[in-house]
Structure 1
Amino acid sequence: MLPHEWIAQYGVLAVFLNVLGSSLGLPLPVMPTLIAVGASQAAGAGVSGPVAMPLAMMLGAAVLAGVLADLVWFRGGRRYGARTLHTVCNLSLSRDACVSRTERFFGRWGVRLLIVARFMPGLSMVAVPLCGSSGIRLRSFLWHDCMGLALWASAGLLLGAAFAARVEALLATLSTVGSQAAVAIGAAAALYLAYRYGRRAWAARMPRKTRLGIH
């Protein structure tokens, strides 16, 4: 089955689950998925018809998944306040830097930060509960969150569509390599996650060692 044929059948579900999991905090590569989907839809447009409608469906799935996940963090921020913010920041390498940076940006831009937060790694997950703890109205939050999600997802889909030929060639190469590529990608992902966990654990221990006078 060709990539664009697979995406025509499962693409909406793949985009929905990918964006949902990433927005909830799972380390999933969403932008590569959006680029691959956009490229495959553009490559298959000559066979199945115009590409605008399939891309609109993918965009709708991305926005819906992102909003559903963000509502979880927004409600958590509204109910539990700073505890939710610190829980989200525990997923980053530096909790203190995560909190201070986000509060600085939010103090300057307010809820409008959601429009561009998805383009800044790690910022969107912290900005969402901060909106809840800051008392932002639900209607305003949903409007700005949907706008930011739409811009972010559109960027990935349109980028893939613009470079459809090159992305399709890459997908074809990966499918030719087959299981070896899957093993290599899985190993690289595991090493990256281990690195992130090690850095986070080391950063969490450093302040304590400093307080105790351990060098």
Structure 2
Amino acid sequence: MLPHEWIAQYGALVVFLNVLGASLGLPLPVMPTLIAVGASHAIGSPGSWAIALPLSLMLAAAVLAGVLADLLWFRGGMRYGARTLRTVCTLSLSREACVSRTERVFERWGVRLLIVARFMPGLSLVAVPLCGAMGVRLRSFIWHDCAGVALWASAGLIVGAAFAARIQDVLSTLSALGEQALIGLAVAMGLYLAYRYGRRVIAAACWR
């Protein structure tokens, strides 16, 4: 089975698990996954309208996963407040995504911050529990969080569909390389996860 065929078949599950894990704080490359899924569906579709339904399903999977994970952090912020924020900051990979800075941004934008938070590395993980700690209503949180996840996931899927031809060349090369490509990807992923884990350790040390 070719890479794009595999992604097209299991794309919804891959997107759901990837977004869920990343939203919970795992160092997963979600945007590359969304781009690859968008490209794979565009490659296998005869026209632009034919990819509307599968991409909508991928988008729904991303929104469902993102909101489910964010609800856990939101509830944690409501119940434990500053303790949850400190925990989240140890997972955040951006030094700027600290509690004080996020509080200042939240004071200016309020819950609307969730609409753009996922485009800013590290901000989303802090903004979500902060909404809970600040007493944002659950209904308002869900609506704004859904809008933010949908906008962010749509960007990745659309970019993948728009550049499907170039991405197809990459996927075809990976398919031709076979086992060597899989080993290379595994090594690259291992190095990537090690890098992000290292940054996470440094971020945690800064909070001690």
TM-score, structure 1 normalization: 0.87
Aligned in 2, Cα 1:160/1:93: closer, same or farther, shift over 3 Å?
A: closer
Shift in Å, 1:106 = 1.2
Q: Is the 8 A contact 2:90 2:207 kept in 1?
A: no
Shift in Å, 1:60 = 0.4
Distance in 2 separating the partners of 1:72 and 1:5: 34
Distance in 2 separating the partners of 1:54 and 1:124: 27
Structure 1 residues 104-155: Cα deviation after superposition (integer angstroms, max 9, x where no partner): 2212111100000010111111100000000000000000000001100000
Q: Could you tell me the percent identity over the aligned residues?
A: 75
For 2:188, give the aligned amino acid.
Answer: A
Counterpart for residue 32 of structure 1: 32
Aligned in 2, Cα 1:198/1:30: closer, same or farther, shift over 3 Å?
A: closer
Q: Does 1:137 align with 2:141?
A: no
Q: Does 1:21 align with 2:24?
A: no
The number of aligned residues is 207
Which consecutive residues of structure 2, in runs of 5 or more, have no partner in the other structure? none
Q: Is the 8 A contact 1:86 1:95 kept in 2?
A: no
TM-score, structure 2 normalization: 0.90
Distance in 1 separating the partners of 2:7 and 2:137: 37
Distance in 1 separating the partners of 2:74 and 2:63: 16
Shift in Å, 1:30 = 0.6
Aligned in 2, Cα 1:17/1:45: closer, same or farther, shift over 3 Å?
A: same
Counterpart for residue 83 of structure 1: 83
Q: Does 1:125 align with 2:125?
A: yes
Aligned in 2, Cα 1:70/1:176: closer, same or farther, shift over 3 Å?
A: same
Q: Does 1:105 align with 2:102?
A: no
- Between 172-181 and 124-133, the greater mean CA deviation after superposition: 172-181
Q: CA RMSD in A?
A: 2.2
Shift in Å, 1:71 = 0.4
